[in-house]
Amino acid sequence: MDLVLRAIVVFFLILVITRAVGRRELSSMEPFDLILLVVMGDLIQQGVTQSDYSLTGAMIVLVTIAILTVGTAYLSYRFRRLRPLLEGDAIVLVAGGRPIESNLRRQRMTIEELLAEARQQSIGGLGDIEYAVLETNGRVSFLKR
């Protein structure tokens, strides 16, 4: 039972941390970020299982996290009001060719980063963009004029 409670606490801690970090940072990982995630995974494993190296303990933790993952996906699907909390909302970064500075600042994104994303989708500049939306998966979608 101790393993299940630890897995539940860690699951929700990871949910909160990933929401706090922001989707933009998670979608553009550098090599250092990947290494940091591996290290965090090891630390989380040690915190959840402590000194339990049994196959049963690993299975209990895996099943608990899998159930929580499926459960949060189901809750997000079933209850519309929980969706922003669990998945976040799409955020408009550009409207009518003009950047929305407050949304860019809240997402810790610069105009230069936004323009780099636009260039990757063959868009020349802000004047060519009707809307730019930061999606819940961390990618920026553009609607051209």
**Distance (Å, rounded) from C-alpha 6 to C-alpha 53?**
15
pTM of the model: 0.65
pLDDT confidence bin for 145, thresholds 50/70/90: confident
pLDDT digits (tens, 9 = 90+) for 84-124: 888 888 899 999 989 999 999 988 889 998 999 899 999 98
Report the alpha-carbon distance of residue 23 to residue 137 in Å, rounded.
Answer: 6
Residue 142: pLDDT band with limits 50, 70, 90: very high
Look at residues 63, 59, 85 and name the one whose alpha carbon lies nearest to residue 72.
Answer: 85
* Residues 97/130, Cβ–Cβ less than 8 Å: yes
Positive/negative CA dihedral, 116, 118, 124, 129: negative
Q: Which domains are present in the chain? A: 2-86 (no CATH), 91-144 (3.30.240.20)
Per-residue pLDDT reduced to its tens digit, 4-44? 888 898 888 888 887 777 665 555 666 766 677 777 788 78
